[in-house]
Amino acid sequence: MRLAKLLMLSATIATAALGAAVAEEAQANTLSTTIAPMPLNRALEQYAKQTGLQVVYVSATATGVKSSGAAAGLTRDAALRALLSGTGLQSRFIDSNTVRSPGPSSTPRSYPSRSRRLPPAVPPSKP
């Protein structure tokens, strides 16, 4: 009987600790305060402070660009999408702690083809 109570108490403590850890992780993955509409570079700085992520971007791409902001309680992914919405900029995670904004388009430029058509290969003649 005593062992059963001890096991039950241990299970309760473990469950509570796990619940607290999950809640803490969920809180770390959401914005605690709203990021108001402001210049994009300042909005990304606030986003980085709140989420603990490193945000890498070329400052010239954010110059003169205004972010619409992001509401408190959004996940870090949703918040980043909200901050970049309407700016023409995109982002992607490099790793679990770093997000990169490559600029207006993450697709490589396509250049006109300058290839020329080669004549068909001629098999070597037999001696």
Residue 123 pLDDT > 90 = no
Structural domains for the chain? 29-103 (3.55.50.30)
Element (H or E) spanning 103, and its range?
strand 98-103
Nearest to 35 by CA among 74, 7, 64: 74
Tokens of 35: 């990021």
Question: What would the pLDDT profile of 21-76 be if each residue is shown by its tens digit?
Answer: 444 444 458 999 999 999 999 999 999 999 999 999 988 888 899 999 999 999 99
For residue 120, the model assigns a pLDDT of 54
Half-sphere exposure of residue 73, counting CA atoms within 13 Å on the CB side? Answer: 1
What are the φ/ψ torsions at residue 61 (nearest 5 degrees)?
-70, -20
What is the spatial distance between Cα 108 and Cα 15, in angstroms, rounded to a whole number?
49
- Cβ contact 41:62 at 8 Å: yes
- Cβ contact 90:105 at 8 Å: yes
Tokens of 72: 């408190």
Tokens of 17: 């600790």
